[in-house]
Chain A
Amino acid sequence: MASLAGVTTRSGLGRAWEVVWRARRLVERNVMVYRHQWIVILSGVAEPIFYLVGIGMGLGGLVRTVPLPDGHTISYTAYVAPALLATAAMNGAVFETIFNVFFKLNFRKTYDGILATPMGIGEIAVGEMLWALMRASLYAVTMLLLMAVLGLILSPWAVLTLPVTLLVAAAFSAAGLAGTAFLRTVQDFDIPMGLIVMPMFLFSGSFFPTTGFPPPIQIFLQATPLFHSISLIRGLTTGLLGLEQLWDFAYLVGFFALMMVIAMRRMERKLIK
């Protein structure tokens, strides 16, 4: 951590900024790597579109409306769309930070090379996160445009959706980074994906309200980060906002900070022997 030790005299904020500034090199590296594979990133745009059209038209035509806890009723497509947006941000972030970072960490040894430069663990973590955020924002913007075209944006509050989606993506990239350092083999991917990401995707109020479950299960489901992401984004796109959404926001900021600390610690232990 020579790079961090060298600047300890600066203020905390200035130091953090320097880390972010140096981290741009890692983003640059990823851009170079993907220069000939941009099609991979672009094709990811198609995915949320297929889901929205498929689930919206297919199931939406059958389910029609969803009653919300506060008595409002909204169309099923307007109910699912913000959840798909939150999920797209989560998936984009988690796939980038789990799969790609795992290979760089364990097989390609990319970071060992990077640590020989003035960049440290902080720069690597921040750089990978910024890159994941760039990918996630591409998907989020596409999804938002599609929602606007289909008339699924019901409130002017929706202008805040983009920054909130980025917060969601940042929180999940930090969580992905924190988790990756625990994985040892390719088969271990099943654990975060099958036991955490997929169940969250299904049970966090994405396709149906959690209020149908018995109260103890509800409390458990409502403690997941995806639940709060969906609740916040859905509040913004439908305009049905309350104090809950402030709490969602605070939760996500706290979750992001916690995961970032864990990610830095784990990466440090993994890379510096």
Chain B
Amino acid sequence: MSAATAPPAQASFSDSLRPATHLFHRNWLVYKRIWYRSLFFGFLQPFMFLAAMGLGVGALLAHSNPNAFGPVGYIGFLGPGLLGSTVMQTASFESTYPIMNKIMWGRNYEAILASPLSTRNVVIGELAWIGFRIASISTIFLGVLAIFGIARSPLALLAIPVAALTGLGFSSWLIAFAATQTNDIGFSWVYRLVINPLFLFSGTFFPLTQMPQPIQVIAWLTPLFHGVELMRGLILGSLDLGAAPWHLAYLLSFFTIGLILADRSLARRLAS
């Protein structure tokens, strides 16, 4: 691994940005062939989920419990929650199988590291790429929310960077995890025991207050909860200014720790 021991490996994160653009560009060249399809499904999925759950279940709620969600209705509550969970799921997928593929099935990183790029460049390039993907999906999602009349305030646009930050938090931790795995069995565990429960129990489909106290406490500790709270506040214009800095601080530290872990984990894996 001559590239990993060459001077760029010791460089700071900021010096790694320029070489990392090559990895970003490589991912773009691969993605370019399917982007229209990816964006089509990126639009279709939230549209159908909102139509079904928001309007369908919303109609049942209007019948039996009309005041449960106040003036925004169930669809207003659900929309931002779905944005958060879509972001988490996209980030998780992009940071597990494709990364493992480039480490050991397709061995792309082996070839990349034979060039002047270091593992740190690779980590930054991959995260930048995933951040870009999440931002593009979130933009489409906001468009869908606007169609349903949910996103009204211009502040809603700020939900895009928040979505990217939330996604990158998951991404960095999962890249760190993927780099320690020698097969994809571990991913099944992560999806079933981490991602799916978070999808259901982070205040996405229903308010956490419906849950018993212990589950609420656990949910408060999870990153998706903080991401969804921020996005919901921004999109509905109901941001709690006292709590927002704490949510943001949580997401930033979650991502920073993940970034350090991913950097170390991938360096260790590819150096051996």
Contacts and interface: CB of A to CB of B under 8 A. Distances in A.
Interface string A169-205: 0000000000000000001001000110011001100
Q: Interface size for chain B: under 10, 10 to 19, 20 to 34, or 35 or more residues?
A: 20 to 34
Given A58-B205, A63-B60, A187-B37, A50 B48 contact: no
Nearest to B41: A194
A62 B185 contact: no
B63 A207 contact: no
Interface string A43-69: 110110011001101110111111100
A43 B184 CA distance: 14
B56 A54 contact: no
A63 B61 contact: yes
Interface string B190-221: 00110011001100011000110000000000
Taking chain B's interface residues, is the majority helix, strand, or loop, or is none over half, making it mixed? helix
Contact of B200 (A37, A51, A61, A64): A51
Contacts of A198: 45, 48
Contacts of A149: none
A17 interface: no
B196 A50 contact: yes
Interface in B28-78: 34, 37, 41, 44-45, 48-49, 51-53, 56-57, 59-61, 63-65, 68
Taking chain A's interface residues, is the majority helix, strand, or loop, or is none over half, making it mixed? helix
B188 interface: yes
Given A57-B210, A58-B205, A212 B45 contact: no
B56 A187 contact: no
The 8 closest A-B pairs by CB, nearest first: A54-B200, A58-B206, A208-B56, A202-B52, A43-B192, A40-B188, A58-B210, A194-B41
Q: Interface size for chain A: under 10, 10 to 19, 20 to 34, or 35 or more residues?
A: 20 to 34
A58 B60 contact: no
Contact of B56 (A50, A61, A207): A207
Contacts of B13: none
A198 B189 CA distance: 22
Contact of A207 (B44, B53, B65): B53
Contact of B64 (A58, A65, A194): A65
